[in-house]
Structure 1
């Protein structure tokens, strides 16, 4: 998924789950920042203090950057959560490793991850952790069928697509149903052959909300995908998760989206047709600005790096990429900054997934 879903839809669902604007902003910013936290290593301050952070992404959408793609340390805990073949803990020991780490939508593994996040709701960075968890949870729908390691299962061929059927978007602009051109198979197969990691071979197709598409996977199976259906289902389950978070209910027994809210989100998913995630994001922000949803008019923004970003507030830098040689001026508010709370939550999430959650399912991951 891309910024239109991870930021805008996460914000909308959080508000519909009765989070305040301020709370929903933190959850939504954190959900999207998982894709933008690409720097790792130590932060050095002029006082001599140090802070260690990890990266949760390596610009996966830059499909030509094989060096970054090869560094897949972040893929399993943050983008391709293993699904244990859809089985509960204690089952699946007879399956191979790759089969067990294939991402599955709303798996037992994923629901256990959400439940643990709810149990930590009193932590000082609980909302940041919730945003990270919602990113990973949503990606189990978008990234289903793929694994976060280099493996032939990720190879894809015969990739085709059709835009989701729709007659008009929720903003009242008429559009036509139309078929996209057949994908350049040579390009997709080149990416898959060079580096079969994640869903690189099918490029951004899993992440475009409006798309219906199909491909043949590395096992020779024809896979049909209905992104609008999957993305709406993800939003509904995120609503259940966030309502359960507010209630402190780790059993996830809350209700999801109302029929009216679900219809509005569905129409925006199907009607916002553009390959560029930033352009789709702008459409969602426009809908929020025009009070399209029941929580009213909000001027929502997202600044990942530079002036007015969480990183700028915490470290005083406007640079998007760190060199590793910076000597940052220590701000007494650093320890309570959203940026640090987010990075603390990243490390807590990864530690839990790798050292507790996956071993519970008999899965060993780096």
Structure 2
């Protein structure tokens, strides 16, 4: 999923679920920031203080990261949560929508609702949770299950592109699609291009086990929004059985479905603008207010507000530590990321026979 869902739709789900506007913005920002927190390592302050950060995503040019150990620490707990189903490690590592593992991750976040990092932890968790619908069938480890053959979509954009290449490459094209893309992008849904993250997409492919997989994203994305709303209600009520809580009212669910289906700009930032316009105009029943834009990097970002640093490469700059840093969204987010990663990789997954880190 992209920023239109992780920030825009999650904000809607949080507000409809009963959160204040301020808390909903924090949760939605943390949800999207999982995709933008690409700086790891020790942040060093002028007075000698230090703070450990863990990147919850790779930089864009590292998407094809070939260091499987790092992939398991980043892609698996945050973007391709294993369902723990099957016999082999490859089978257990496959991401499935709304799996029992995913629900347990949400329950753990609800259990920590009174912690200082509670809202940020919920945002990180919701990113992982809703991605189980978009990233189903793929895994965050190098696996033959991530192979994609004969990818086609209803809009025919990719199909036409394939046809043009086939006219040039002839019978060699199957190897270009099935082997080169998968070798270049061995983790996650890289070989499936952008289709898993487009809310309206209808597409199909042959997976690494020669099974035909047909996907229609819209009902999956609407269900993800519905369950995110239930998770918020569970969080607010302190109910770990969040799946039993009320979801979005029918008119809200229908509006969200229309929004996701009709906003088809390939630029996800433009789609976020549409989400914000709908919220401001009251096109989501029961919700009519301004949703501020999202700032993930640079001036006025969470990192800048906490440290004054403008760029990711901060090895040469040392900010002043203060008690304000301890209360900052930046510190709370990174601690929430570390909490989420530990609980997921060291407790939940091993309990289901899956040791990946």
TM-score (norm 1): 0.89
* Aligned ranges 1:137-152 → 2 under 5 Å: 137-152=129-144
| CA distance in structure 1 between the aligned counterparts of 2:329 and 2:253, rounded to whole angstroms | 30
Residue 284 of structure 1 corresponds to which residue in structure 2? 275
Q: What does the per-residue CA deviation read over 1:27-84, in whole Å, with 9 as the maximum and x for residues that have no partner?
A: 0000000000000000011111000110000035x58x53478641301100010012
Aligned match for 2:349, one of 350, 353, 358 = 358
Structure 2 residue matching 1:11: 3-state secondary structure: helix
Residue 237 of structure 1 corresponds to which residue in structure 2? 227
Q: What does the per-residue CA deviation read over 1:292-328, in whole Å, with 9 as the maximum and x for residues that have no partner?
A: 2212221321100111111111001122x22423212
Q: What does the per-residue CA deviation read over 1:4-40, in whole Å, with 9 as the maximum and x for residues that have no partner?
A: 0000000000000010000000000000000000000
Residue 77 of structure 1 corresponds to which residue in structure 2? 77
**Would you tell me which structure has more helix in proportion to its own residues?**
2
| CA distance in structure 2 between the aligned counterparts of 1:184 and 1:150, rounded to whole angstroms | 27
Give the 3 Å change call, closer, same or farther, for CA 245–193 of structure 1 in structure 2: same
| CA distance in structure 1 between the aligned counterparts of 2:185 and 2:218, rounded to whole angstroms | 28
C-alpha deviation, 1:224, in angstroms: 0.3
1:100 aligns with 2:92: yes
Structure 1 residue matching 2:253: 3-state secondary structure: helix
1:263 aligns with 2:254: yes
Across the aligned residues of Structure 1 and Structure 2, the Cα RMSD in angstroms comes to 1.7
C-alpha deviation, 1:194, in angstroms: 2.9
Residue 166 of structure 2 corresponds to which residue in structure 1? none
Structure 2 residue matching 1:352: 3-state secondary structure: helix
Structure 2 residue matching 1:348: 3-state secondary structure: helix
C-alpha deviation, 1:289, in angstroms: 2.0
The 10-residue stretch of structure 1 (305-314 or 344-353) with the greater mean CA deviation from structure 2: 305-314
C-alpha deviation, 1:329, in angstroms: 2.4
| CA distance in structure 1 between the aligned counterparts of 2:236 and 2:291, rounded to whole angstroms | 24
Gaps of 5+ in 1: 86-91, 164-178
Aligned match for 1:251, one of 223, 233, 241 = 241
| CA distance in structure 1 between the aligned counterparts of 2:59 and 2:193, rounded to whole angstroms | 12
Q: What does the per-residue CA deviation read over 1:214-266, in whole Å, with 9 as the maximum and x for residues that have no partner?
A: 01111111100010011001011111111111111001220111110000000
Give the 3 Å change call, closer, same or farther, for CA 188–314 of structure 1 in structure 2: farther
| CA distance in structure 2 between the aligned counterparts of 1:291 and 1:346, rounded to whole angstroms | 33
| CA distance in structure 1 between the aligned counterparts of 2:148 and 2:310, rounded to whole angstroms | 39
Gaps of 5+ in 2: 163-172
Residue 29 of structure 1 corresponds to which residue in structure 2? 29
Q: Is the 8 A contact 1:141 1:234 kept in 2?
A: yes
Structure 1 residue matching 2:38: 3-state secondary structure: coil
| CA distance in structure 2 between the aligned counterparts of 1:35 and 1:331, rounded to whole angstroms | 27
Residue 66 of structure 1 corresponds to which residue in structure 2? 64
1:126 aligns with 2:90: no
Give the 3 Å change call, closer, same or farther, for CA 31–68 of structure 1 in structure 2: farther
Residue 222 of structure 1 corresponds to which residue in structure 2? 212
Count the aligned residue pairs: 340
Q: Is the 8 A contact 2:14 2:24 kept in 1?
A: yes
| CA distance in structure 1 between the aligned counterparts of 2:139 and 2:150, rounded to whole angstroms | 19
Residue 159 of structure 2 corresponds to which residue in structure 1? 182
Q: Is the 8 A contact 1:129 1:345 kept in 2?
A: yes
Give the 3 Å change call, closer, same or farther, for CA 230–69 of structure 1 in structure 2: farther
C-alpha deviation, 1:181, in angstroms: 4.5
